[in-house]
Structure 1
Amino acid sequence: MTTLAANKPAYDGTTLDLSGKSGARAIRNGLATVLITLCFLIAVIPLIWILWTVVSKGYSLVLDASWWSQSQRGITSRREGGGAYHAIMGSIIMALMCAAIAVPLGVLGAIYLIEYGKGSKAARAVSFMVDILTGVPSIVAALFVYAVWITMLGQNRIGFAVSLSLVLLMMPVVLRSTEEMLKLVPDELREAAYALGVPKWKTILKVVVPTAFGGIVTGIMLGLARVIGETAPLLILVGYSKVINMNPFEGFMGALPTMINNDRGDMALPAAEARVWSTALTLILLVLALNLIARLIARFSTIKSK
């Protein structure tokens, strides 16, 4: 012990400075900072340019109260006036019908994958099919529904058919987001419920789903934002109508994407051009509202990251 103490170097009171960077490290750090900043600007500048173009050319009609309360009934491409009420309501109705089908399928499918079928062949098959649906283009989903609904069953082109095709696009988003949120629920909560004698189905209903509720709703809102701006299903499965139609099971329906498509061929006319840009801005505002709602729900979610 005496020998070790004698050989130990004396502390001279100085501290080791680790705050500085070597020349090579400083160059690499600066280069990485410049590249990241450039990538950020490359991504943001086109976005700001698009938003500025849409807002500057479409705000005039959006600020008019009649835009939100009137349809385009009797309005031609050369004539000014009318509103987008029929298209807004058509988009919302078809999206809500889509959600009424896609949300139960997506949530229940995620519960099966996480709580019941983990590791089973059936679960792997379901997960594989969901991965395929995630990458299916909207026009392929529309053509599939057209082949079944119109060609095979002999039904008409209506808004409900559009909702069926949108289900194929929204359901994978809801399922995957719900699946990830259920994975974040601590197993200790499940085990505590089982230890108290609570059945598994009641544990899922009363413990697991409420814990992940905020994230589940966020995924649903993002799924709605994903499908509400789709155009291909509208062009294939329902005709555009300038009048207000609240019945998705009969007749043509207006929607914001098809309202843009209806006037885009007459962009040389001032009235048609104003309607196109204003409809585009309305669609952006609708999607923005859905995303903001999803953000608020995520902020107040019961699952917090540490």
Structure 2
Amino acid sequence: MSHASVSTSGKRRGELHGARLPKWFPWAAAAGSVALGLGISAAAGLESSIQWGLIAAALFVLGTYVIAARVEGRRQAKDRVATSVIWVAFIVAVIPLASLVYETVKRGVKVLDGYFLTHSMGLVSDTEPGGGIYHAMLGTLQQVGLATLISVPIGVLTAIYLVEYGRGKLAKAVTFFVDVMTGIPSIVAGLFILSLWIIILDMGYSGFAGSMALTILMLPVVVRSTEEMLKLVPNELREASLALGVPKWRTILKVVVPTSIGGITTGVMLAIARIAGETAPVLLLVWVTNFINTNPFSDPQGSLPVYIYLQFANSGGSGAAYDRAWAAALTLIAFIMILNLAARGIARWKAPKTGR
């Protein structure tokens, strides 16, 4: 073996088994980057926290690579840089979410109490304190519930057809239209139901009209998520069931769907979260009322998204209406969070148990 090959192999072994940076190095690098970012921002007269944050992130990635390359070698340095970029991206994604939740909770708890949840606006004007969101909360629950009752059976059965039976031009056409519906703006769905249900059929404003528009928005999400979950079920399970003489429909009902029920439930909850905050179709089809309407099939009905929009629009950035808007927003976030927690519980309860 030549001297050059020996030195090359020794260098590679040195890169693989050489010196290692301590475990606390990433934290020290992050702290140093933040300090340098603040110092550079102060020296340059930058007042935006976003600017010094970006400077600190760039220094963190660059500093990690330089120090790791000198101590551990370029191969390990590249690995550390990739890890650093992932952490920076994670922090950039979490900070806006955390600040949103913090701001909503801080402003929403001012008027969020039992009275606020159990009373409607009634005769309370936007400039007066008092009132509540009971009428809007009831309307949202009914409208989203009706949309879920319509879209979930249709969406799940459509996904089962596409995965288990769909072949040929019909399946391709269904897939194409599902893809097209995924990108439909909410206002377009509202205008379609408005022209068909209210203008042509003259059925009037109602919560059910809003539910039909929400169904259009929810249906493609349910179909797509359910379809992907069904594709993850191993074919061996289907083949084993069919080999025992079980009909295909019973195999789907007893084997395929229970195996993927966790993912299907999660997809349904994502679809519900997608439509729970829609404002445009509800404003077009359900209209506005400050009174309690428990019948979703007749007359205008309140809803949380429209309530938030109207209260904020009429508040001028302060006052009782402004506080009510934030409290309603906090209630809507809590509603979606409870739905997701319930979905996780149902998915874990219904998931197939595997013995050791």
State the TM bucket, normalised to the shorter chain.
0.7 to 0.9
Q: 1:39 to 1:193 in 2, by over 3 A?
A: closer
Q: 1:72 to 1:301 in 2, by over 3 A?
A: same
Task: Kindly provide the amino acid, as one letter, of the partner of residue 175 in structure 1.
Answer: V
1:136-215 pair list within 5 angstroms: 136-215=184-263
Unmatched 5+ stretches in structure 2? 1-12, 21-71
- 1:238: which partner in 2? 286
The structure, 1 or 2, with the larger RCO (C-alpha pairs under 8 Å, 6+ apart) is: 1
- 2:144 pairs, out of 95, 114, 127, with 95
Q: Is the 8 A contact 2:258 2:350 kept in 1?
A: no
Task: Kindly provide the amino acid, as one letter, of the partner of residue 281 in structure 2.
Answer: P
CA shift for structure 1 position 32 = 2.7
Deviations 1:130-172 (A, max 9, x none): 1111111111111111111122212211111110011111111
Distance 1:165 1:259 in 2: 18
CA shift for structure 1 position 51 = 1.4
Deviations 1:199-231 (A, max 9, x none): 222222222222222222221122111111100
- 1:250: which partner in 2? 298
Task: Kindly provide the amino acid, as one letter, of the partner of residue 154 in structure 2.
Answer: L
Structure having the larger proportion of residues in helix: 2
Equivalences, count: 288
CA shift for structure 1 position 259 = 0.6
- 1:294: which partner in 2? 343
Task: Kindly provide the amino acid, as one letter, of the partner of residue 244 in structure 1.
Answer: I
Q: 1:31 to 1:190 in 2, by over 3 A?
A: closer
TM-score by length of 2: 0.76
Task: Kindly provide the amino acid, as one letter, of the partner of residue 127 in structure 1.
Answer: T
CA RMSD, Structure 1 to Structure 2 (Å) = 2.0
Distance 1:164 1:47 in 2: 31
Q: Secondary structure at the match of 1:61?
A: coil
1:37-52 pair list within 5 angstroms: 37-52=87-102
- 1:35: which partner in 2? 85
Deviations 1:264-300 (A, max 9, x none): 2232351111101101111111111122223334445
Deviations 1:232-275 (A, max 9, x none): 11111111111111111111111101111221223235111110
Q: 1:114 to 1:206 in 2, by over 3 A?
A: same
- 2:75 pairs, out of 25, 35, 39, with 25
Distance 2:219 2:171 in 1: 16
Task: Kindly provide the amino acid, as one letter, of the partner of residue 282 in structure 1.
Answer: T
TM-score by length of 1: 0.88
Distance 1:146 1:189 in 2: 46
Q: Secondary structure at the match of 1:60?
A: coil
Distance 1:191 1:175 in 2: 24
- 2:309: which partner in 1? 261
Distance 1:304 1:114 in 2: 24
Deviations 1:14-49 (A, max 9, x none): xx7744485222332333333323222222222222
Unmatched 5+ stretches in structure 1? 1-15
Distance 1:209 1:282 in 2: 33
Deviations 1:84-107 (A, max 9, x none): 111111101000100111011101
Distance 1:304 1:180 in 2: 21
Task: Kindly provide the amino acid, as one letter, of the partner of residue 239 in structure 1.
Answer: W
Q: 1:31 to 1:213 in 2, by over 3 A?
A: closer
